[in-house]
Amino acid sequence: MASQAETLTDNESRFLISDLCRVLEEYLEPDQVQEVYRAYLFGAEAHEGQHRLSGEPYIYHPIAAARILAELKLDAKSIVAAILHDTIEDTPTAKEHIATEFGEDVAELVDGVSKLTQIKFETSAEAQAENFRKMILAMVRDIRVILVKLADRLHNMRTLGVMRPEKRRRIARETLDIYAPIANRLGINALRVELEDLGFAALYPLRYSVLEKAVREARGHRKEVLNKIEKSIKRRVRQEKLHGRILSREKHLYSLYRKIRDKTLSFEETYDVYAFRIIVDDVDTCYRMLGVVHNLYMPVPGKFKDYIAIPKGNGYQSLHTILFGPYGIPIEVQIRTEDMDKVAESGVAAHWVYKTGEENIDQMHAGAREWMRELLEMQKHAGNSLEFLESVKIDLFPDAVYVFTPMGEIMKLPHGATVIDFAYAVHTDIGNTCIAARVDRQEVPLRTTLRNGQTVEIITAEGAHPSPAWLSFVVSAKARSNIRHHQKNLKREEAIMLGRRMLDRALGIFDSVAAEVDAVRLQSLLREYHLDAQDDLMEEIGLGRRPSVLVARALVQAEDGTDEGGESRTMPPLVIKGTEGMVTRFSKCCRPIPGDPVVGVITSGRGMMIHTQNCRNIADDKYNADNCLEVQWEPGIDEEFPVEVNVEVEDRRGVLAMVATVIGDAESNIENVGIEEGDGLTNLLKFRLAVRNRKHLATVMRRVRNIPSVIRISRARG
């Protein structure tokens, strides 16, 4: 095989693959290492002639990504997939070829990481969102997809310096917004920390260099204090005859930066915290060690967190406490077992690494599986890829709040969660029918933000529905996606009802109704339109995607091609009600009210807008029979409608109050008022009033016109 592997003489290339194999030999079987090397030969040939922007052969990148996974001690198939991860996307190699050579599992992993290159998108944001959606769905099937992608992204971040500044910033922002939080959500701390620091350095290079210099200068002054605290802890541990490794640690730069930014602290306030990690043999010793450090230094009230009893969603377990150290210096202490420490660094990757601590790994995997199940549910409810990406970003916020159900069950919610978020976390039906709530037995508004330790009780009512206003305060992706899903279903139901009325009206021309349409002809039309059911056709009509006249004509068309009852007829007007819905809306440009001659304009995807017949904004639409429908008001509407009125008045003190009083006496409510100053002698008052119909509006205008200071009054028109 005349491959790139055979022709390359560069020592570094030889070193890279041999170095990778040496790492793999520490934990893989010889035949598995041989399979990885065979994948290297395959990938090198596929990428032959390709180079990165740095000028080095492209095969360097897949080997580096595989090395990252090898350091996490992932299985052989993951390593092979990492070496081949760009072959489908960047070379003529087909997925089927990879499946034949290396098996279906490897082919699925490589395909899951590959971008959608064969589809053209209107915007780069849409392309990014759709590729992300594809990767997440592949990850739900096999979580190793995201591990390969994280390794790919980490090496790209390490070599980001050769990119153009704008592309460098875009990739860094994407890394900080998506990939680092995913690594955190899956508990892979080793990758998360480096992704965050590299993203920080690329996105804010000046801030990074300033903070790095400040840390470097301050580090020397801290050594003496660190040594003193460490010696004190070790001395007390020996006295209590306990055993454990005591390590001092530093926050990484991005974590420091985020704390400075979010809490508006100075560097000195943020960096003046001394952190230690104590690693012991078992859980019992963790709690005994906690007592030791609490006896040595006074704990800060309210700053103790037990992540052993209640692990984080990514499986992380540890005891966290903050102490008052010598000279009042704050000391952060984490206490965990060896197994917990390994899981904290490797997260879901620990499944392939460690045979000990199975309980920890099972808990972590249960959390990962639950998250992936939620992702799948979000994907089903999301209207498009951009909305799905937004929901996932919201879901990746790491902070959590722990509250209780009335039965004492612990529920974990994202930071800032409200009563509605809790209701949806319990069950989707509970969220959809929620009408009230009690927190610690006290009734509270639905937008109430929850705090740790509270007990929450949800009150539901049959037939209740979620309000669109909830979207303004819910924070969990599950609540947001379910509320949006319900609204879309509601819109669909309204569109189906409107479409059915419009089709019946159009069929009236041909002396027919929908119930009398030939079933065979209807099924034929559905196949022609690529629709599954009659309701889908009605929705298309209601949303303006298919003109009702053309659908009606197609449904009654005779076999010889002529129309049954084909003489020209006038289409009867569609009766509209006074309630503005999600599919039938009243235009804000002319604000029609009962009594106005009106017309309905169909806009594709948005439904029908009701305008007055003389509205200037529909001058072109009135000549389009497919888009413009004659409509009329339902008799006896007993509702109020907004209408805009302009009142020109003399510039006198108290004239606004006088006009407002007269409007109120005429039983009209003022929804909004604006004032435009005129030439010093007059002003223009702009009112938005609530009236019942044209007759009511005429009464209001007549009474206002009788005020001596009123020069002119007119209704604002589109």
Beta bridge partners of 457: 438
Architecture of domain 214-361: 2-Layer Sandwich (3.30)
90 is catalytic: yes
Q: Residue 249 has which token pair?
A: 């640690």
| Sign (positive or negative) of CA dihedral 430, 431, 437, 439 | positive
Predicted confidence at residue 560, as pLDDT, reads: 39
CB neighbour burial string for 448-480, b if at least 16 within 10 angstroms, e if fewer = bebeeebebbbebeeeeebeeebeebbbbbbbb
The confidence score (pLDDT) of residue 554 equals 77
pLDDT for 4: 39
Q: What is the pLDDT of residue 621?
A: 64
Domain boundaries, the chain: 4-158, 214-361, 573-634, 641-715
* CA separation for the pair 411, 453 (Å, rounded): 10
Catalytic residue among 48, 71, 90, 535: 90
CA distance 698 to 303: 67
Which two structure tokens, joined as six digits, stand for 502? 């419009």
Cα–Cα distance for residue pair 516/565, rounded to 1 Å: 15
Q: Are 426 and 457 in contact (CB under 8 A)?
A: no
Tell me if residue 12 is catalytic: no
The neighbour count for residue 350, using CB atoms within 10 Å, is 25
Give the per-residue pLDDT at 391. 60
DSSP output for 510-566: GT--GGGS-HHHHHHHHHHTT-SSHHHHHHHHHTTSS-HHHHHHHHHB-TTSPBTT-
Catalytic residue among 89, 126, 250, 630: 89
Going from the first residue of the chain to its last (718 residues), give the mean pLDDT of each consecutive group of 10, the final group possibly shorter: 38 63 89 92 88 86 91 88 87 85 88 62 63 69 83 92 89 88 82 93 92 81 81 90 87 85 75 83 93 92 87 82 84 91 73 45 57 63 60 58 81 86 91 91 89 87 83 84 79 80 76 70 83 85 74 65 48 62 77 89 74 82 65 83 93 90 91 84 91 93 93 86
Note the residue count of the chain. Answer: 718
CATH 3.40.50.970 fits 4-158, yes or no: no
**Integer Cα distance of 568 and 574 in angstroms:** 18
Q: Report helix, strand or coil for 715.
A: strand
pTM score, whole prediction: 0.56
Architecture of domain 641-715: 2-Layer Sandwich (3.30)
Amino acid symbol at 371: W
What the block records as the tokens of 654 is: 């108290």
Residue 308, C-beta contacts closer than 8 angstroms, at least 6 positions apart: 283, 286, 317, 318, 319, 336, 340
* Residue pair 605/541 in contact by the 8 Å Cβ criterion: no
At 252 the pLDDT is 84
Give kind and range of the element (H or E) at residue 586: strand 584-586
24 neighbors 37 (Cβ within 8 angstroms): no
